[in-house]
Amino acid sequence: MKLQQPIFAFFFSMALLPPYLCFSAVSQTRRPFSVISRAHATATSTTTRLSMARRDANMTPEEREVAVEKATKAMTSFSNSYIAKTKTRLCQDKSVPAVVIKGLAEHKVSLGAPLCPCRFYEDKEKEVREGYWNCPCVPMRERKECHCMLFLAEDNPFAGTETKITLDEVKELSSQA
């Protein structure tokens, strides 16, 4: 039996069920997830449900290119500051974080939020409203688990020594992928 997300949010916000006894609505595994994040996302999603649409639908190709450039710069800056804040590292192959940052920027322009580009979504707009996979995603914030390999712990076998990536590196490496 699969429960709908608002029911999960209700149970968690009312503290009727301990998180370790519930299934994650996303992964269908027994894992705790953020009570505040899910409950807040469900509560706020109803206000934006009707206004959500592709934000780049009315942009010319030139306007979209400028918006993606600006978002790429913002996401690169965000990634560098988040790496410093969480004491994580970049993947040893810098093309991996470059492509992820570019994907986050694309989603920021088209969806209005940096939705994780490494997952398949049946409904991207719904995922943006729920906020669970908006970067940094809940697994990263709670357990320092970044499946995109953008933010890696020191002990991760794919972690490199670098803690910064430049905008030029993001542009160059993501265009080669």
The residues annotated as belonging to the active site are 118
Identify the bridge partners of residue 17 per DSSP, sorted by sequence position: none
Give bridge partners of residue 115 from the DSSP assignment. Answer: 134
| Both structure tokens of 148 | 């995109």
Helix residue ranges, H only, the chain = 5-13, 35-48, 61-86, 95-111, 124-130, 138-143, 167-176
Q: CA distances (Å), 80 to each of 17, 119, 137, 145, 147, in order?
A: 37, 22, 16, 17, 17
Supply 128's token pair: 């943006």
Spatial CA neighbour of 139 closest among 47, 29, 42? 29
